[in-house]
Amino acid sequence: MNFDPLTDSGVSPADSLPPTYWHDTVTAPPYLPLEQDFTTDYLVIGGGYTGISAALTLAQSNAGSVTVIDSHSPGFGCAGRNAGFVLSGSGRLGPLALQKRFGMPVAQHIQAEFDGAVSDLLARVQAYNIDCDLTPGPYYKLAHTAEQAQAQAANATALAHQFQQPVTALNRSQLHSELPVQGFYGATRQPGYTLNPLKLIVGLAETAKARGVNIFGASPATAITRSNDGYTIATPGGTIKAGTVLIASNAYSNKKLHPMVNKRQFPVQSSILVTEPLTQTQCVQTGLNRAVSMMDTRKMKYYYRLLPDNRLLFGGRGEVAGKNAHRGQARLHQAMADSFPALRDKTVSHFWSGWVSVSMDSLPRVFFDYEAQIGYAMGYCGAGVSFANMAGRRLAQQATGQPVDSSLPLYNSPLPRFPLASLRRTALRALYSWARITER
Ligand SMILES: Cc1cc2nc3c(=O)[nH]c(=O)nc-3n(C[C@H](O)[C@H](O)[C@H](O)COP(=O)(O)OP(=O)(O)OC[C@H]3O[C@@H](n4cnc5c(N)ncnc54)[C@H](O)[C@@H]3O)c2cc1C
């Protein structure tokens, strides 16, 4: 049964690893559970990109002892299940939407931080010599209607001039001469990267371990209590005393972990299928004969890329409830066949789902309470491979009193709480029904 953050109390060490393509490519080393009481200066809860990046940053600044606990193992959450697109941006607001909400100077500043997150990740991969199949290649945003194609072309000009983004608009025939995908009216193209996300988190976790970070797997935080001398965190194998706590459990958080994060994000399922390797002819027929990645402009987006062994990875929205995750495979397969008719009969070798953390106002947050010495980073809305790395760094900087640009809305306010949180899934079902009718 798939884990469901809204109905289960939290990730269990006994949950099985997701059947991803990535798990066939790398075996993560074991991270043993905590089996006695323990004391640490900094405790990081969650071993994904956010948590491991925070831990690594703390270790590098010699701030004190650093410990990461994960309910299951580093990479059990999104970090080990995502599509591996490395793009500039996070949350659900593009640069122009950011401009509308915050004005041009702040929007440009946020975009620069997102761009910096990509550079920062690339620099870490290089500095720590992490073998994660990092590959440069064009990223296409495919317009699914003629109106979207026009809007995309206008956006490309604004993005290039006002945000210095290397974006090129392509009309329908230009798109089809570069990439013979079906059913699209135009696109934008910009540089991007893809990688193997599980290899990345394993590489980062091993780097953190080598720099003195304690990492315990199978050690869920079940309660966080504050006393005069810091925090006591309960885990099944022992309690942890910590001066500072950083919550990096993202959409995989326990239903009730801490008032600071409870009901401040909405876990939404995204699903991925992977095909058997394409033949050389199929690669040429579909334009998937180089390292490309793509996403369409639907509200319920589909995203796809070529894998190093010529398989197609095709992802999109998942089912609302965890127990129904398997139902998404047929819908994804149909969407894949619509875009790539030549692959209609291709066998699916892998299918899995994961939970992305959606914030109420579509913006991620890194928030630290200096008085209480506790903070969190989450709400990436399904775009966190680059920014979660930066968010973990910023969270660690806040925790050690280093300056972080507090003029950025990403860093100067908490995640807004969802009103009527119990109705989130009802609203999501309505949204999916609406999209089924309007976005074919
Ligand atoms: C199907 C899918 C495809 C995606 N594709 C992309 C993509 O191509 N590009 C992109 O930029 N983003 C993508 N994302 C989003 C991206 O993967 C996430 O934003 C990012 O991984 C978040 O990292 P994180 O460290 O914050 O959280 P996670 O990686 O989810 O880690 C959270 C960890 O916390 C642990 N945990 C939870 N509760 C506790 C507790 N109580 N005690 C201890 N540990 C706990 C969990 O076990 C988990 O390991 C995708 C997500 C999904 C699901």
Q: How far apart are CA 193 and CA 255, in angstroms?
A: 34
More confident residue, 430 or 44: 44
pLDDT at position 319, please? 84
Q: What is the pLDDT of residues 293-327, one digit of tens each?
A: 999 998 778 999 999 999 999 999 888 888 888 88
pLDDT at position 174, please? 95
Q: How far apart are CA 107 and CA 91, in angstroms?
A: 13
Residue 386 tokens, joined: 């680059």
Question: What is the Cα 74 distance to its own chain's centre?
Answer: 14
Residue 253 Cα: closest atom of ligand 1: 38
Instruction: Label residue 194 exposed, middle or buried (CB < 10 Å: 0-12, 13-18, 19+).
Output: buried
| 121 CA from centroid of ligand 1 (Å) | 16
| 80 CA from centroid of ligand 1 (Å) | 7
Question: Which whole-number Å values give the CA distances from 234 to 15, 220, 221, 278, 359, in the listed order?
Answer: 19, 8, 6, 48, 27
Q: How far apart are CA 388 and CA 69, in angstroms?
A: 17
Query: From atom 25 of ligand 1, which residue's Cα is the shortest distance away?
Result: 48
Mean pLDDT rounded to a whole number for the chain = 94
Q: How far apart are CA 30 and CA 356, in angstroms?
A: 25
| DSSP string across 251-270 | GG--SSS-TTTTTSSEEEEE
Residue whose C-alpha is closest to residue 169's, from 297, 74, 280, 50: 297
Rounded to 5 degrees, what angle do the CA atoms 301, 303, 309 make? 165
Average pLDDT over residues 90-98: 94
pLDDT at position 431, please? 78
Strand, coil or helix: what is 389? helix
Residue 243 tokens, joined: 């001066």
Contact assessment for residue 294 and residue 142, using Cβ atoms and an 8 Å cutoff: yes
| 248 CA from centroid of ligand 1 (Å) | 9
Q: What is the pLDDT of residues 170-217, one digit of tens each?
A: 999 999 999 988 889 999 999 999 999 999 999 999 999 999 999 999
Write phi, then psi, for 220 (nearest 5 degrees): -70, 135
Q: What is the pLDDT of residues 227-279, one digit of tens each?
A: 989 999 999 999 999 999 999 999 999 989 999 999 999 999 999 999 999 99
pLDDT at position 419, please? 84
Residue whose C-alpha is closest to residue 224's, from 248, 211, 242, 210: 242
The yes-or-no verdict on residue 363 having pLDDT over 70 is: yes
The yes-or-no verdict on residue 420 having pLDDT over 80 is: no
Residue 14 tokens, joined: 């006994």
Show the ligand 1 pocket: residues with CB < 6 angstroms: 10-11, 45-51, 69-72, 76-79, 81-85, 87, 220-221, 248-254, 257, 270, 272, 315, 354-356, 378, 380, 382-385, 388
Q: Which of 56-70, 147-161, 321-335 has the highest mean pLDDT?
A: 56-70
The yes-or-no verdict on residue 381 having pLDDT over 70 is: yes
Residue 49 Cα: closest atom of ligand 1: 25
Write phi, then psi, for 241 (nearest 5 degrees): -100, 130
Residue 253 tokens, joined: 């958080």
**For the chain, how many residues are written?**
440
pTM: 0.96
| 49 CA from centroid of ligand 1 (Å) | 7
Percent of the chain beyond pLDDT 90? 83
